[in-house]
Structure 1
């Protein structure tokens, strides 16, 4: 366990140690199915954040042991931790640094087809809108305010630790990947008990 501001964070090294000892906790990856399909920790279950929030009561009944929540960097996993804590699930941890830290540590990863991560897609869309509105703003008065609105949205996203653009982009077919069936996830959790 780390001594960072998030007392429930779990380092990749600590998780690797538990997996190596055969005492691995349940691993819930809350990224989109597309992100999960690209790369994930072996043995992890994909329960996208929206699905987790919607079915957290049902998941609660099947998660009676330690749980480590995983996302790209830790932000969505922290939101998942809060949602599961609200239904009384104890023993929650967040993988400190998410998949980025896991991969950087050289830990094993199951890989699928490459996709751009949501954060990279947000940077592309936001940057393109700001660039285009800035250029067009030289010729059409007021268009530059679109870029200002995008900047305000990004600032709000940072302060609130949410991202409306990212949530919208996650709904695109490119990002959805195979649909997560909560019944299959629950059955897998039940079978492992």
Structure 2
């Protein structure tokens, strides 16, 4: 099915290019009447809209979106968490570089969350590996229950916590990028 869609799309693009070539050959002023863009971004999720907001500062940008509304898919349902040292070295550098913007721009997009990892007594190895991956510090069972009283003390064997983890208000962030992109003509 995907192959058929790709072939159909390629065929349509080929026909459109042929038509445009013929129009240009017959009427060189044809393109001057079209609304041309320097950059076309395919996809109106957080990645596409944030790119449009930045690129539209210096270029004519058009965002193409298949859905009726922007951020319809994952961006619209995201429960994003910001952890500055999560990911590979490149992602970590991007996280750290974006932190001042996420904290200050338009009143900020971050709110304190913290992160806790819980495990049963027989899950020590998996718990230790995951706690290390997220740089969580071990805390006692009583400290975990103090933070979240609903924890079942009878089944809890291990707990770890980290305070410098934040929720990202993804809708506010998306709306801010969208406003900037639109104000700059994207």
TM-score, normalised with respect to structure 1: 0.26
* Higher Rg: 2
Structure holding more strand per residue: 2
